[in-house]
């Protein structure tokens, strides 16, 4: 019996004189109070069966626009489930938000790197996907899947979605391609460009590039003091540490800076807009893969359905073309069309053997010390 029927019966009894006015209003009040009390808890209890919306958080800008246009709106049209999308400027900020939230408040995140997957696992924020409900996962490159399986061998909490690089972006009006290739990562500590250099204010990227500038393996930095010295040198020459993809694009487009490291997809977007910005991946450039991570306490069926929808060949290619990051789909299995093979970092072999990814154990192991040290170095120490 639904609530409307219950109310009609009660009103009938009141009108027939079976119950007094006082009791009628008392019962109505009690029903209202009971409804109000059960709502917050019921939301979680019914989360698995009665889902009307899923929350998705991503990097904002052109990336989120592509998700909205090519994935979320068609998904809502097909299923009736609304996708509420939020944005974050960086993975650290988002992790802090998730840690302060209740399970189920945040559902799916567009996380970066295997080290993020490992961090979420260490904070017990993982979920358990039923891969059988995501048949399109079969088209994903095994190399991307294996990275996650090495962290959570018995279960999977995320679907790989795209990949890219953090390479060197430069204004070709001021820096020629030959000079960029010759200097590589060291161009970011070249006195010649003092005041026209930018950089992401992210400790991992700063240390990764410091390793390249000091001729070290980014996944095994032996001389950390030399690396910090390179970070200091870059800090003294830089005009600005950018904090988001939008700021990166603005600084380059407005010619505030002439060279910085940048995200491959964002730089491609600038090139598409007509800006003469070059992009160069130096040897051992920072490669990364992004995933759609389902957080603990999320409505799994709806999330799995959304993941499957997003991994569908048509959706995945449309999103990739909008974001300018190659999709996680295996190019040896799926025809990715004309544009994707032209995107920076695209690997036609599907093995990604040409890219250098951050070793999650190494970088997460140094996170506490290096993130703190970077805060000091950044301020002049």
Partner 1 sequence: MSIEQREARQPWILLTPALTAIVLLLIVPLMFIIVYSFWLKSAAGADTPGFFLDNWQEALTDPFYRDILLNTLKIAAVTTVACALLGYPAAYFIARSKGNRLVLLVLLMLPFWISYIIRTMSWINILGVSGALNSAMIWIGVIDEPIQMLYNETTVILGLVHFLLPFMVLNIFVSLEGIDTNLEDAANSLGATRWQGFLQVTLPLSLPGLAAGGLLCFVLAAGTYITPVILGGPRDAMFANLVYEAIIRQLNWPLGSALSLMLLVVLGVLVLIYNRYLGMAQLAKGLG
Chain residues in the site for partner 1 (CB under 8 A): 90, 92-93, 95-96, 99, 119, 122-124, 195, 199, 201, 203, 235, 238-241, 243, 250, 254-256, 364, 367-368, 371-372, 375-376, 378-381
Q: What is the DSSP letter of 72?
A: I
Distance of CA 4 to the CA centre of its chain: 44
Distance CA 371, CA 366 (A): 8
Task: Identify which of residues 27 and 243 has a Cβ nearer to partner 1 in the complex.
Answer: 243
Shortest separation between residue 28's beta carbon and partner 1, angstroms: 26
CB of 247 to partner 1, least distance (A): 9
Tokens read off for 130: 């039923």
**Minimum CB distance to partner 1, residue 293 (Å):** 17
Nearer to partner 1 (CB atom), residue 92 or residue 179: 92
Least distance (Å) from partner 1 to the CB of residue 20? Answer: 31
| Pairing outcome for strands 53-58 and 82-87 | parallel
Read off the tokens for 210: 């410091």
229 vs 256 by CB, closer to partner 1: 256
Nearer to partner 1 (CB atom), residue 247 or residue 290: 247
- Residue closer to partner 1 (CB basis): 88 or 268: 88
Q: Which of 165, 213, 207 lies closest to 185, judged by CA? A: 213
- From the CB of 364, what's the least distance to partner 1, in Å? 7
Other CB atoms within 10 A of residue 372 CB:
11
User: Do the beta carbons of residue 260 and residue 251 sit within 8 Å?
Assistant: yes
**What tokens does 138 get?**
């079969």
Name which of 13 and 296 has its Cβ closer to partner 1.
296
Smallest separation, CB 192 to partner 1 (Å): 16
Residues 6+ apart with CB under 8 A from 165: 263, 264, 281, 285, 286, 287, 288, 344, 345, 355
């Amino acid at each position: 019996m639904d609530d409307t029927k219950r109310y009609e019966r009660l009103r009938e009894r009141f009108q027939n004189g079976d119950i007094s006015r006082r009791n009628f209003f008392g019962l109505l009040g009690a029903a209202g109070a009971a409804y109000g009390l059960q709502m917050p808890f019921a939301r979680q209890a019914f989360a698995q069966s009665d889902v009307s919306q899923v929350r998705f958080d991503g990097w904002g800008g052109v990336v989120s626009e592509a998700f909205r246009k090519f994935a979320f709106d068609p998904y809502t049209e097909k299923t009736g489930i609304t996708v509420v999308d939020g944005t974050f400027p960086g993975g650290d900020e988002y992790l802090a938000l998730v840690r302060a939230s209740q399970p189920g408040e945040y559902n799916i995140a567009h996380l970066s790197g295997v080290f993020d997957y490992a961090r979420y696992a260490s904070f017990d924020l993982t979920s358990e996907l039923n891969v059988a409900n995501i048949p399109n996962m079969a088209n994903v490159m095994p190399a991307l899947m294996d990275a996650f399986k090495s962290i959570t061998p018995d279960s999977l909490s995320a679907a790989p979605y795209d990949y890219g690089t953090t390479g060197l972006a430069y204004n070709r009006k001021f820096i020629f391609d030959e000079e960029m290739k010759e200097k590589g990562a060291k161009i970011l500590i070249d006195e010649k460009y003092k005041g026209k250099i930018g950089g992401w204010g992210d400790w991992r990227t700063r240390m990764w590039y410091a390793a390249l500038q000091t001729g070290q393996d980014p996944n095994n930095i032996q001389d950390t003091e030399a690396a910090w010295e390179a970070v200091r040198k870059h800090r003294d020459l830089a005009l600005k540490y950018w904090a988001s993809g939008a700021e990166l694009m603005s600084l380059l487009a407005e010619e505030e800076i002439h060279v910085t490291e940048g995200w491959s997809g964002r730089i491609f977007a600038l090139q598409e807009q007509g800006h003469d910005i070059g992009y160069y991946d130096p040897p051992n450039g920072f490669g990364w893969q992004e995933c759609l991570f389902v957080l603990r306490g999320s409505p799994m069926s709806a999330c799995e359905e959304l993941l499957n929808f997003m991994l569908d060949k048509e959706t995945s290619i449309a999103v990739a073309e909008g974001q300018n990051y190659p999709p996680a789909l295996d190019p040896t299995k799926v025809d990715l069309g004309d544009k994707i093979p032209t995107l920076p970092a695209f690997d036609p072999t599907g093995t990604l053997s040409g890219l250098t990814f951050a070793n999650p154990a190494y970088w997460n192991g140094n996170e506490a010390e290096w993130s703190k040290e970077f805060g000091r170095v950044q301020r002049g120490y």
